[in-house]
Amino acid sequence: MYITGAAANELGNPTVNSGGWKSARLIIGVEMAERFAYFGISSNLITYLTGPLADSFLGRFRTIIISSSIYILGLGLLSLSAMVPSQYKGPNQVVSYASQFQVTLFFCALYLVAIGQGGYKPCIKHIDDSFGLYIYPREPKLVPGICTERGGKNNPFARVGRVFVEAVKSRRQPDFDIANPNDTLLLLTHPSSKQFRFLDRAAISCDLGEIEEAKAVLRLFPIWMTCLIYAIVYAQSTTFFTKQGATMDRSILPGLVVPAATLQCLINLSVVAFIPIYDRILIPITRSFTQNPSGITMLQRIGTGIFLSILAMVIAALVETKRLQATRDDVTIPITVWWLVPQYVIDGVSNVFTIVGLQEFFYDQVPSELRSVGMALNLSIFGVGNFLSSFIISVIDKVTSQSGKTSWFDNDLNQAHLDYFYWLLACLSTIGLASYLWFAKSYVYNKPNTF
């Protein structure tokens, strides 16, 4: 039973007491504390340097408690790694270096934070789904997340997996040569059933609802894959954008210098400023043309954000080219940091479209019992995207530094070529957008109450 417009506990059963604002205040407080801790680490880190569990067994609220504990443990170990005394090269030298224990502790702490985030955030996102456009993620995820409605009742993973297993077992059966004629008729008339017809063979031992659940999950993966390039671009705002700013003139007043990581607040400010414009101006205008209550579809919103991310990369490349033209070795560049404002602002506006669109899409287009899996898929885009970003950077760094040449990512950014990297990302994003549009054009939306 799925409860709508009434209080329900973590198992989906009716309950008299919802907790009200008393419970809400606790969630809001934990979320605020978690954001302070996260941004305090992630925003400055560049300067110095799993889904099935709860869906099947634990349930959302237990998962939040466990993953939050892991998260806090990771933050504690991260602090401890900074407190461990460094080793010195000599008694008369002030230059220190981290011990092997300190490095190991540091990376273990980062992975614990990642695991904690992977369990905590999808559960919170599922709880606050009713906030719609005003909730958006600003953090990369390293692991997929965790949760849904009903502890271990009627495991949804088992149902979806069973469909694939039965489809493979019945692969020699001709299409629609199945046991239940009524299910055959329903499959033929259901619009989404025209896709992935090979799964229809599972109808020998699976009902229509189970088959459609499996198809719904499978349909998400082309969109998931084509959005990875957006996540790669997204990662640059907390990494190379910050390093760019660190080499530029950040003075506001005599004696007052803006930390490079502080510029990331421009992304959040642009989101806050643009949301009312989107909600009060753009949606009514587009609604008059499309007759869609939301103005534009979820996939159109995502595509718009991907296009804006390409524009942000083009602007970043042009600004970096200008910065390099004013270069002086190993000193602050005599060019103001405010040149970076356009790329930060456009990146923030793209978040309003793509990140919110992805959250809505992956929540809405999965069966109700797998909605937190949808949230986990959404968050995993940014986790995998960060890994891909690191991989691409490692490959480019190795290739461009061969034969004694200067790497695109040289420690001295005045000798590096971030502009080339930004142009490369703009080209890859254009290819990714074309692929995304091709898959989005053929995507069949799941209508409400399909499952």
> pLDDT means per 10 residues in the chain (451 residues)?
50 65 73 63 47 48 65 72 60 57 78 64 47 40 40 60 80 56 47 66 76 82 93 86 84 81 86 90 90 89 95 94 74 76 93 91 81 78 83 89 84 86 95 95 70 43
Q: Which of these, 414, 409, 411, 380, lies nearest to 393 by C-alpha position?
A: 409
Q: What is the pLDDT of residue 132?
A: 42
Can you tell me the distance from the alpha carbon of 430 to that of 425, in angstroms, rounded to the nearest whole number? 8
Residue ranges per domain, the chain?
Answer: 1-150, 156-214, 227-451
> Residue type for 436, please?
Y
Instruction: List the Cα angle 154/123/135 in 5-degree steps.
Output: 135
pLDDT for the residue 352:
92
Query: Reduced to 3 states, what is the DSSP secondary structure of residue 382?
Result: helix
pLDDT value at residue 15? 67
The residue type at 287: R
Q: For residues 52-91, b (16+ Cβ closer than 10 Å) or e, as one string?
A: ebbbbebbbebbbebbbebbbebbebbeebeeeeeeeeee
Number of other CB atoms surrounding residue 175 within 10 Å: 11
Q: What angle do CA 352, 358, 360 make, to 5 degrees?
A: 90
Rounded-to-integer distance, Cα 405 and Cα 307, Å: 33
Beta strand 248-249 with 333-336 is: parallel
What 72-75 contacts at long range (C-beta under 8 Å, 24+ apart), as own/partner pairs, is 72/116, 73/112, 73/116, 74/109, 74/110, 74/111, 74/112, 74/113, 74/114, 74/115, 74/116, 75/37, 75/41, 75/109, 75/113
Q: What is the DSSP string of 257-273?
A: E--GGGGGHHHHHHHHH
Cα dihedral angle (325, 330, 331, 333), rounded to 10 degrees? 20
Task: Identify the pLDDT of residue 175.
Answer: 56
- What pLDDT sits at residue 270? 92
- Indicate the fold that domain 227-451 takes in CATH: Growth Hormone; Chain: A; (1.20.1250)
d(CA 140, CA 233): 12
Dihedral angle over CA of 364, 367, 370, 374, nearest 10? -30
Neighbours of 191 (CB within 10 A): 11
Give me 132's structure tokens.
Answer: 């719609």
Separation in Å, CA 233 to CA 140, 359, 410, 427: 12, 18, 20, 11
